[in-house]
C-alpha cells in the first residue's frame, strides 16, 4: 500500500484533539471526532465492535472488527494488515468527501478506502459485522468491509467474483497468531473450467471443494441443511460466489482460514465458553489435493487409502507398493471410441473440474453426448439437468461413506466385460453351444454336487462367508488375513488385551507400517451372531463422522470374526468418570465437550447421515476417547437401519445393557430414536455425577441414579448430584441446564423425550427454553436374568416386573 504523508495541518489537528475514551455508537460522520485508541464503534445490537487491538504477544497495533461479547477476542477483519501502528496514537478519520483513512501519530496514511466525491458520507458498523460507508441522499454504498475480507467469512459475506465491479473476494490467512499480515494460505473461487473453491499454499493447490451440486460442494457431503446453517451458491450474469446464512438467531457462525491452512467452520451459542468446531478441511489424507495421483481414488474406508479407478493400474507398481502414489494410475486397456462404455463410481467427490465443462443436459443426453465425443472420458449429472464432462486425466477423486454424487468413467469394452463378468459368460455360452451333450452332463453333475454340498452344510457347521472376494464386495472393507492379525497382536497375547466385552476380548496391535489398531475378536460362543457381525461391519463402513470410531477392516479366516478399529489411547469414557483418580482429569469444560460431542455424533446417526441409524446400546463403555479426550461412539453390532420416515420398530429379541435401556424397549421390544435419547440422558447424568446408573451410594436412600437425580431435582438440590471431582469449576446455571436436559431425555414416555436435534440445540443455546421434565422410569436387575452381561439377548416373555418411580 502506498504511504502518503499528510500536510502538517492535519497532523496538528489530530495532535490537538482530545481523545474521548469509550464507545461512539454504531456510526461516524465527518463531524465526529476521529476514532482513536480506546474508542470504538459497536453495532446496534451489540454483536460486533470496531477498534484498535494488539494481537497475541505482538507490540504493534491494528484496526479491526471482533465479536464484542465473546470473552476470547475473535477478530474477523483487519484494516491495516500490511501497515501496523507502532504506538497508540493512531486515529480513524472520515473526511467530508467520504474518504475513510487510518492515520499514524505522525499523520501518515496507513490505510484508506480511497473513496471520494461523496455527499454526506456515513460510516456504520452493522450487526452482520459489515463496516459500510454510504453517501448521498439515497445512501448509496461507497465501500464495505465485506468486499475486502481477511481470514474470516461471516454470514451474508460472499466469496467469489462480482463481474459488474470486477471484484474478487477471497480469504487469506494470518502469518501467525500475533501477526495478521497476509500469510501463505488463501481460499478462493477458481473459475477456470467449472467453478470450485480452492485452498492454496502460495501457488500450490492444497485442497478443493469440488463443484457445487445443488445441495453443497461435491467434496463436502456434510453441507446438507442442518438447522444451523444454510449454504448458498450463486452463478449468474452478476457474479459467481458462495455464502452462508445462520438460521438460528441465538447462534453465531463464522468460517476462518487459520495460519496452518485449515478452513474451519465454528458455531457459538449464548452461554458457551468457547467456539465449537463444526467441521474443517483438509480433514485427512483424502482431502489433500491429488493425494493418490492422476486416475487414483482415495478413500478412508480401506486400510490403504489409495487405489486406482477401475480399469486403471498403477503407473509405477514398485512405488505404489511403498505407498508412493504421486505417479498415479494409467489405463489397463486403451480406449476404442466406437465400442467404449461407462462404469459408475458411487458416493464420489467429483474430479478436479479444471479440465471440465458444464452444460444443460439430462442424464441420458449427457451420457449420449459423452459417448459420441471421443475426447470425453467421464461425466456426471446433478440437479437433474446439469451435465459435467471431463477431458484428460481424472484428478483428486475420493470416495465417501455417505456421499450422493455418481461419476461415469469411460472404459474400454473389454475392461467392462471383465469387471461385469461378461467375458466369462460368453466363453461359457460358446463352450456349451459347441459341446451341448457334455454341457448337459456337466450341468447335472453340478446340480448333484450343489445338492450334496447344501446337505452337508445344513448338517454341519455353517461358514460365515463364501469367499474373500465376495466378503470384500459385500462389506465394503478390506479383509485382513489372520497371519497379519496374529503378528500385530503377538498372537493374541493376553498382555495385549485392552478390554473385554460381552462379545469377546479387544487387543491392541500394530501393523507392519507402524499403525496402531484395536482388534475386537469375537469369542466362539459370543452372543453376537453372524448377523450382528455383518451389521457392525456394513454400518460403520458407511459412516464417517469425527465423533464415531473408524473401522479399518475385518478378518474372517479360520472361522474367526475379527473387527479392526483405529486405536484410541485413552480407551473408554467409563474408565475415567467412574474412577476417583482419573475422574479428576475430566474438568467441567471437558465433560461439557464430551457430552456435546456424543450428542453431535448421535445427531449424525439419527438425522444427518445418509442412513438413519438406531444404535441400541449406547453406554459410557461404548464411548471411546482419543488423545485429546474427544468422544467417539463405538460398537455398532446391535444397531439397526431405519427408513427416513420410519418412527419405531418392534423386536422380540431385546439387546442392550441394563441401566441404559428405555422402558418401552425393555418391556415391549419397541425401539426408536427415543430409545437412544433415553440412553444418552443416562450417560449425561453419569458424566455429571461420576456415578453409575445402577448404583449411587450405600448411604443414599435411592439405589438408582435416575431416582436419585429426580429426587434432588424435585427438592431443588440438583447441584448435589455433581461429581465432587469438579469442585467449584463449573457454572451453576450451566450444570443445572445439563441436568435438566438429561432428565428430559430419560422421561418415562417416549413421546415426551426430545429428539437429538432438540437436545443439541438445548445443550448449545441457553436461549432455548427448556420444559420441566416429568418423572423418569427405572427398573431393577431382578426384572431380568440375574446373569445380565454387557450385551445379553433376552426374551420379552422372561420379563417379570418393572418398578416405576413414585412421585416424590
Per-residue pLDDT tens for 20-39?
345 568 999 998 889 999 99
Please say if the pLDDT value at position 543 is more than 50: yes
The reported pLDDT for the residue numbered 437 is: 58
Residue 662 has pLDDT above 90, yes or no: no
- Specify the pLDDT at position 504: 75
Query: Is 429 part of a structural domain of the chain?
Result: no
Of residues 347 and 420, the one with the higher pLDDT is 347
Is a pLDDT exceeding 90 seen at residue 156?
A: yes
Does 230 or 796 have the greater pLDDT score? 230
CA 262, CA 277: separation in Å to the nearest integer? 12
121: exposed, middle or buried (C-beta count within 10 Å: 0-12, 13-18, 19+)? Answer: buried
Q: What's residue 249's pLDDT?
A: 82
End position of a domain, from candidates 117, 148, 179: 148
Residues 204 and 245 in one domain: yes
Residue 149 pLDDT > 60, yes or no?
Answer: yes
Residue 303, pLDDT > 70, answer no
617 is catalytic: yes
Question: Which of the residues 617, 676, 723, 758 is marked catalytic?
Answer: 617
- Asked if residue 478 has pLDDT above 90, the reply is no
**Structural domain tally of the chain?**
5
Least confident among 310-319, 419-428, 603-612: 419-428
CB atoms within 10 A of CB 20: 12
- Does residue 271 sit in the same domain as residue 378? no
Q: Using the predicted structure, report yes or no on whether residue 650 has a pLDDT greater than 90.
A: no
HEC assignment per residue over 2-63: CCEECCHHHHHHHHHCCCCCEECCCEECCCCCCEECCEEEECCCCCEEEEEECCCCCCCEEE
Helix (H, G, I), strand (E, B) or coil at 462: coil
Higher-scoring residue by pLDDT: 94, 560: 94
Residues 357, 393, single domain; the answer is yes
Which three cell numbers, joined as nine digits, stand for 784? 431380568
Higher pLDDT, 528 or 447: 447
Average pLDDT for residues 179-200, to the nearest whole number? 96
Return the DSSP state at 350.
P
Same domain, 755 and 644: yes
Whether the per-residue pLDDT at 801 is higher than 50: the answer is no
Query: In this predicted structure, which of 357-361, 632-636, 720-724 has the lowest mean pLDDT?
Result: 632-636
Give dist(CA 780, CA 782) in Å, integer.
5
What CATH number has the domain bearing residue 16?
2.90.10.10
Helix (H) or strand (E) holding 372: helix 363-372
Distance in angstroms (rounded) separating the CA atoms of residues 758 and 660: 20
Could you give the CA distance from residue 749 to residue 655 in angstroms, rounded to a whole number?
Answer: 20
Q: Which three cell numbers stand for residue 450?
A: 450343489
Residues 723 and 681 in one domain: yes
Query: Strands 152-154, 251-257: parallel, antiparallel or unpaired by DSSP?
Result: antiparallel
Task: Answer yes or no: do 7 and 48 share one domain.
Answer: yes
Q: What is the pLDDT of residues 693-705, one digit of tens each?
A: 876 555 555 568 9
Distance CA 745, CA 754 (A): 6
Q: Which one of 120, 148, 176 terminates a domain? A: 148
Q: Please enumerate, as own/partner, the contacts of 112-118 that have beta carbons within 8 Å and a separation of 24 or more.
A: 113/142, 113/143, 115/142, 115/143, 118/142
The residue among 62, 70, 77, 63 whose CA lies nearest residue 46 is: 70
What single-letter DSSP state applies at residue 608?
I
pLDDT tens-place string over residues 232-245: 999 988 999 999 99
- For the cut 70, the answer to whether the pLDDT of residue 13 exceeds it is no
By the 10 Å C-beta count (0-12 exposed, 13-18 middle, 19+ buried), 406 is classed as: middle
Give percent of the chain with pLDDT exceeding 90.
46
Q: Is 512 left (phi over 0), alpha (psi -120 to 50) or beta?
A: alpha
End-to-end Cα separation, the chain, in angstroms: 72
686 and 616 fall within a common domain: yes
DSSP state of 401: S
Q: What is the rounded CA–CA span in Å between residue 725 and residue 264?
A: 33
- Please state which of the ranges 256-270, 487-501, 785-799 shows the lowest mean pLDDT: 785-799
Least confident residue range of 201-205, 387-391, 697-701 = 697-701
Q: Residue 438: what pLDDT?
A: 59
Residue 709 three-state SS:
helix
Residue 468 pLDDT: 46
User: Are 304 and 329 in a shared domain?
Assistant: yes
- Is there a domain that residue 731 lies in? yes
Tell me whether residue 439 is in a domain: no
Domain identity same for 505 and 638: no
Q: How many CB atoms lie within 10 A of CB 86?
A: 13
Strands 640-642 and 612-614: antiparallel
Distance of alpha carbon 62 from alpha carbon 90, whole angstroms:
9
Mean pLDDT of 84-102: 94
Strands 376-382 and 497-501, sheet pairing = unpaired
Contact between 746 and 683 under an 8 Å Cβ cutoff? The reply is no
- Looking up residue 537, the CATH number of its domain turns out to be 3.30.200.20
Average the pLDDT over each of 253-257, 393-397, 554-558, 665-669 and give the range with the smallest value. Answer: 665-669
Beta-bridge partners for 186: 172, 200
Is the domain of 16 the same as that of 119?
A: yes
3-state SS class at 510: strand
Between 675 and 767, the more confident residue is 675
What's the mean pLDDT when you consider all of the chain? Answer: 82
Is the pLDDT confidence value at 293 over 60? Answer: yes
Contacts of 598 (CB under 8 A, 6+ apart): 547, 623, 631, 633, 680, 683
Higher pLDDT pick, 610 / 286: 286
484-496 burial by CB neighbour count: b if 16+ within 10 A, else e? Answer: bbbebbeebeeeb
Of 119, 121, 85, 82, residue with least CA distance to 105 = 85
Of 617, 618, 621, 619, the residue nearest 575 (C-alpha): 621
Q: How far apart are CA 164 and CA 155, in angstroms?
A: 22
Q: Is 438 part of a structural domain of the chain?
A: no
Domain containing 162 equals: 158-283
In a domain, 20, yes or no: yes
Asked whether residue 643 is domain-assigned, the answer is yes
* Residue 435 resides in a domain: no
CB 360 within 8 A of CB 368: no
135 three-class SS: strand
User: Domain ends where: 98, 128, 148?
Assistant: 148
Task: pLDDT band for 9, please (50, 70, 90 cuts).
Answer: very low
Same structural domain, 734 and 695: yes
Tell me, what's the pLDDT at 19? 33
- pLDDT of 726 higher than 70: yes
Residue 787 has pLDDT above 50, yes or no: no
How confident is residue 480, by pLDDT bands cut at 50, 70 and 90?
confident
Q: Tell whether 454 is covered by a domain.
A: no
Cell numbers linked to 670: 419397541
Can you tell me the distance from the alpha carbon of 677 to that of 673, in angstroms, rounded to the nearest whole number?
6
Tell me what the mean pLDDT of segment 73-102 comes to.
Answer: 95
Indicate the SS3 state at residue 318: helix
What predicted TM-score, i.e. pTM, was given to this entire model?
Answer: 0.56
Do 415 and 551 have their domain in common? no
State the burial class of residue 192 (Cβ atoms within 10 Å of its Cβ: 0-12, 13-18, 19+). Answer: exposed
Portion of the chain with pLDDT greater than 70, in percent: 79
Amino acid at each position: 500500500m502506498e504511504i502518503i504523508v499528510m500536510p502538517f495541518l492535519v497532523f496538528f489537528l489530530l495532535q490537538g484533539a482530545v481523545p474521548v475514551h469509550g464507545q461512539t455508537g454504531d456510526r461516524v460522520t465527518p463531524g465526529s471526532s476521529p476514532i482513536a485508541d480506546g474508542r470504538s464503534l459497536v453495532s446496534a445490537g451489540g454483536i460486533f465492535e470496531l477498534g484498535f487491538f494488539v494481537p497475541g504477544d505482538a507490540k504493534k497495533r491494528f484496526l479491526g472488527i471482533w465479536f464484542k461479547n465473546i470473552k476470547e477476542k475473535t477478530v474477523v477483519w483487519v484494516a491495516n494488515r500490511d501497515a501496523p501502528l507502532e504506538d497508540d496514537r493512531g486515529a480513524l478519520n472520515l473526511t467530508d468527501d467520504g474518504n475513510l483513512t487510518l492515520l499514524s501519530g505522525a499523520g501518515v496514511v496507513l490505510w484508506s478506502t480511497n473513496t471520494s466525491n461523496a455527499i454526506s458520507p456515513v460510516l456504520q458498523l452493522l450487526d452482520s459485522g459489515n463496516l459500510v460507508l454510504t453517501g448521498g441522499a439515497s445512501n448509496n454504498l461507497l465501500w464495505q468491509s465485506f468486499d475486502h475480507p481477511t481470514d474470516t467469512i461471516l454470514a451474508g459475506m460472499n466469496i467469489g467474483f462480482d463481474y459488474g465491479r470486477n471484484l474478487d473476494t477471497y480469504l487469506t490467512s494470518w502469518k501467525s497468531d500475533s501477526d495478521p499480515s497476509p500469510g501463505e494460505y488463501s481460499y478462493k473461487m477458481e473459475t477456470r473450467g467449472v467453478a470450485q473453491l480452492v485452498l492454496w499454499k502460495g501457488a500450490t493447490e492444497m485442497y478443493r471443494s469440488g463443484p457445487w451440486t445443488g445441495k453443497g460442494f461435491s467434496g463436502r457431503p456434510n453441507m446438507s441443511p442442518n438447522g444451523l446453517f444454510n449454504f448458498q451458491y450463486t452463478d449468474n450474469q452478476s457474479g459467481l460466489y458462495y455464502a452462508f446464512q445462520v438460521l438460528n438467531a441465538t447462534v453465531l457462525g463464522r468460517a476462518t482460514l487459520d495460519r496452518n491452512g485449515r478452513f474451519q467452520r465454528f458455531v457459538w451459542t449464548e452461554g458457551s465458553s468457547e467456539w465449537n468446531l463444526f467441521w474443517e478441511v483438509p480433514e485427512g489424507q483424502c482431502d489433500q489435493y491429488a493425494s493418490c495421483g492422476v486416475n487414483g481414488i482415495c478413500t478412508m474406508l480401506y486400510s490403504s487409502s489409495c487405489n486406482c479407478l477401475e480399469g486403471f493400474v498403477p503407473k509405477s507398481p514398485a512405488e505404489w507398493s511403498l505407498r508412493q502414489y504421486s505417479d498415479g494410475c494409467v489405463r489397463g486397456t486403451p480406449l476404442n471410441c466406437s465400442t467404449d462404455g461407462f462404469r459408475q463410481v458411487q458416493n464420489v467427490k467429483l474430479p478436479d473440474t479444471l479440465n471440465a465443462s458444464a452444460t444443460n443436459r439430462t442424464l441420458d443426453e449427457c451420457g449420449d453426448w459423452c459417448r459420441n465425443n471421443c475426447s470425453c472420458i467421464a461425466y456426471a449429472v446433478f440437479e437433474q439437468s446439469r451435465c459435467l464432462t471431463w477431458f484428460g486425466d481424472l484428478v483428486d477423486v475420493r470416495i465417501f461413506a455417505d456421499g450422493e454424487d455418481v461419476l461415469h468413467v469411460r472404459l474400454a469394452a473389454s475392461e467392462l466385460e471383465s469387471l461385469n463378468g461378461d467375458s466369462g459368460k460368453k466363453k461359457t455360452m460358446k463352450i456349451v453351444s459347441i459341446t451341448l451333450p457334455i454341457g448337459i452332463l456337466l450341468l447335472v453333475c453340478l446340480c448333484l454336487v450343489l445338492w450334496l454340498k447344501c446337505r452337508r452344510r445344513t448338517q454341519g457347521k455353517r461358514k460365515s462367508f463364501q469367499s474373500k472376494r465376495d466378503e470384500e464386495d459385500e462389506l465394503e472393507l478390506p479383509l485382513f488375513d489372520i497371519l497379519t492379525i496374529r503378528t500385530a497382536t503377538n498372537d493374541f497375547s493376553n498382555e495385549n488385551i485392552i478390554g473385554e466385552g460381552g462379545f469377546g476380548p479387544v487387543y491392541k496391535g500394530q501393523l507392519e507400517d507402524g499403525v496402531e489398531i484395536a482388534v475386537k475378536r469375537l469369542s466362539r460362543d459370543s452372543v453376537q451372531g453372524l448377523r450382528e457381525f455383518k451389521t457392525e461391519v456394513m454400518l460403520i463402513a458407511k459412516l464417517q463422522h469425527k465423533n464415531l470410531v473408524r473401522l479399518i477392516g475385518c478378518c474372517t479366516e479360520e472361522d474367526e470374526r475379527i473387527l479392526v478399529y483405529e486405536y484410541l489411547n485413552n480407551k473408554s469414557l467409563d474408565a475415567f468418570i467412574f474412577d476417583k483418580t482419573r475422574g479428576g482429569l475430566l474438568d467441567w469444560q471437558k465433560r461439557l465437550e464430551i457430552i456435546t460431542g456424543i450428542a453431535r455424533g448421535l445427531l449424525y446417526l439419527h438425522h444427518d447421515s445418509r442412513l438413519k441409524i438406531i444404535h441400541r446400546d449406547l453406554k459410557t463403555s461404548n464411548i471411546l476417547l482419543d488423545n485429546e479426550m474427544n468422544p467417539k461412539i463405538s460398537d455398532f453390532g446391535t444397531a439397526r437401519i431405519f427408513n427416513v420416515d420410519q418412527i419405531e420398530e418392534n423386536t422380540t429379541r431385546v439387546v442392550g445393557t441394563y441401566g441404559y435401556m428405555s422402558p418401552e424397549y425393555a418391556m415391549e421390544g419397541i425401539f426408536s430414536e427415543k430409545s437412544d435419547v433415553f440412553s444418552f440422558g443416562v450417560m449425561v447424568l453419569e458424566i455429571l455425577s461420576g456415578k453409575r446408573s445402577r448404583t449411587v451410594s450405600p448411604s443414599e436412600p435411592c439405589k438408582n441414579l435416575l431416582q436419585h437425580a429426580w429426587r434432588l431435582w424435585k427438592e431443588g438440590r440438583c447441584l448435589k448430584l455433581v461429581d465432587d471431582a469438579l469442585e467449584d469449576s463449573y457454572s451453576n446455571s450451566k450444570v443445572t441446564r445439563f441436568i435438566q436436559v438429561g432428565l428430559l431425555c430419560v422421561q418415562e414416555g417416549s413421546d415426551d423425550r426430545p429428539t437429538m436435534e432438540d437436545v443439541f440445540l438445548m445443550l448449545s443455546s441457553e436461549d432455548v427454553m427448556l420444559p420441566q421434565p416429568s418423572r423418569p422410569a427405572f427398573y431393577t436387575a431382578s426384572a431380568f436374568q440375574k446373569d445380565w452381561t454387557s450385551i445379553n439377548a433376552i426374551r420379552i416373555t422372561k420379563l417379570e416386573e418393572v418398578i416405576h418411580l413414585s412421585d416424590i
